[in-house]
Amino acid sequence: MARLKATHEGALKIGDATLEVAVLNNGQRIITQSAVFKALKRPVRGNPRLIGIPVFMDAKNLQPFVNKELEAVIGKVEYFDKNGKKQEGYDANILPLVSDLYLRAREAGVIIQPNQAATAQRAEILVRSLAKIGITALVDEATGYQYDRERQELQKILKQYISEELLPWQKTFPDEFYIQIFRLNGWEYNSEMIKKRPGVVGHWTNQLIYDQLPTDVLKILKQKTPKSESGNYTARFFQSLTPDIGNAHLQNQLVSVVTLMKISKNWSDFMEKFNQLYGQTQIDFPDERKDELSNFNKNLKKGLDWNPNE
pTM of the model: 0.49
| Burial tier of 218 (Cβ tally within 10 Å: 0-12, 13-18, 19+) | middle
Please tell me the predicted confidence (pLDDT) of residue 163.
79
pLDDT in tens, the chain (310 residues): 568 999 999 998 877 788 999 999 988 999 998 899 899 988 877 677 778 888 889 889 999 999 998 999 999 999 999 999 999 999 999 998 999 999 999 999 999 889 999 999 888 888 877 765 577 777 887 888 776 665 554 556 677 777 777 888 888 898 899 999 999 999 887 777 767 788 889 899 998 999 988 878 888 899 888 888 888 888 889 888 888 888 889 998 999 899 999 999 999 999 999 988 876 544 444 444 444 444 444 444 444 344 444 4
Please report the pLDDT score of residue 157 as a whole number. Answer: 66
pLDDT at residue 297, rounded to an integer: 43
| CA 260/CA 277 separation, integer angstroms | 10
239 Cβ partners below 8 Å, 6+ apart? 163, 166, 167, 168, 169, 225
